[in-house]
Amino acid sequence: MARSGPEALGGVSGAVQGASAPGPRPKKARPKRLGLFGGTFNPIHYGHLRSGEEVAEGLGLDALWFIPAAVPPHKAPADLTPFPVRLAMAKLAVGRHPRLKVSDIEGRRPGKSYSVETLRQVRRDFGPAAELFFILGLDAILEIQTWKDFRELFTLCHFVVLDRPGFDREQVGEVLHREVHPGFQEMPGGQGFQHPSGTRVYCWETTLLDISATRIRTLVREGRSVRFLLPEGVRRFILKQRLYIPRSATGG
Ligand code: ATP
């Protein structure tokens, strides 16, 4: 029997409510247009959340999943808050939002959390008809050539690139042509680029919020306010759990 999407993903916060019906889940219950927003989320903040909201609305997504990386391949482990804690903050942030969800899929695989493995798994679980949109910031796409099996990624899903202050959107086409495939075609109206396989890379204009998790961690460490940079529940959680404070300062 085919596994249903959310179950196969090992739990998407709030995705399935109430008692399960007997027998296979009806096909229409599956999201058909699904956004996958990967990241370290250490912690999740309004830069992620507002972009997710605007993309989900703009693309008419059935669901958008924030997918915290259990073992981010590009981040120093020393700086890393444990996966369950980052997952908990993401869940606190989305709450009962009807479309924004949190998936622990990358916590269920051993080793480094490569996006290509997540995309393969989601593609397998949801089948070839599902429209998958992988969401990432401009800073991330500009170094896509450092990702595992990055060329394959562009055959598995569409991409949505979010503007980020300080990064040049004009470089996206150049990087795609040079690093990924010379056959990328520019779409009309500066919408983005189309890969020869038919997948698209959308350059998406969202509200520019110059917020980073690094800055939030620094502010907390310095004992300064992070209010209004991230949801209040997450801010309180950080303070209560004494996250981002050096051990020597906590007496631990
Ligand atoms: P850090 O400062 O620790 O590197 P970050 O704030 O960049 O973290 P990540 O968890 O690394 O957050 O980001 C996940 C994804 O979200 C990345 O693709 C990143 O480019 C994107 N992103 C992060 N912050 C923003 C923002 N303010 N606006 C748009 N996209 C963002």
Ligand 1 center to 41 CA (angstroms) = 7
Q: What pLDDT sits at residue 68?
A: 98
Binding site membership of 41 for ligand 1 (Cβ less than 6 Å):
yes
CA dist list (Å): 23 to 12, 36, 57, 91, 124: 20, 28, 32, 29, 21
Q: What would the mean pLDDT of 91-110 be, rounded to a whole number?
A: 97
DSSP 8-state secondary structure symbol assigned to residue 10: T
Report pLDDT digits (tens) over 36-66. 999 999 999 999 999 999 999 999 999 999 9
**Backbone torsions φ then ψ of 102, nearest 5 degrees:** -125, 130
**In the predicted model, what is the mean pLDDT of the chain?**
88
Q: What pLDDT sits at residue 251?
A: 46
Atom of ligand 1 nearest to the CA of 79: 3
Longest Cα–Cα distance of the chain, Å, equals 58
What domains are defined for the chain?
A: 32-211 (3.40.50.620)
Q: What would the mean pLDDT of 188-211 be, rounded to a whole number?
A: 94
Q: What pLDDT sits at residue 78?
A: 76
Substitution candidate for ligand 1 out of 40, 81, 221, 243 with most atoms within 8 A of CB: 40
Binding site membership of 214 for ligand 1 (Cβ less than 6 Å):
yes
- Does 4 score more than 60 pLDDT? no
Q: Is 220 helix (H, G, I), strand (E, B) or coil?
A: helix
Q: What would the mean pLDDT of 91-95 be, rounded to a whole number?
A: 98
Q: What pLDDT sits at residue 79?
A: 75
Binding site membership of 42 for ligand 1 (Cβ less than 6 Å):
yes
Report pLDDT digits (tens) over 134-187. 999 999 999 999 999 999 999 999 999 999 988 999 999 999 999 999 999 999
Atom of ligand 1 nearest to the CA of 139: 20
Atom of ligand 1 nearest to the CA of 212: 6
Rg of the chain (C-alpha set):
18
CB-based contacts of 170, cutoff 8 Å, min separation 6: none
Beta strands (DSSP E) in the chain are: 33-39, 63-68, 100-102, 131-137, 158-162, 185-186, 192-194, 200-204
- Does 13 score more than 70 pLDDT? no
Binding site membership of 137 for ligand 1 (Cβ less than 6 Å):
yes
CA dist list (Å): 70 to 86, 87, 164, 244: 9, 9, 24, 18
Ligand 1 center to 94 CA (angstroms) = 16
- Is residue 153 within a helix (H) or strand (E), and if so which, with residue range? helix 150-156
Is this model's pTM higher than 0.75 or not? yes
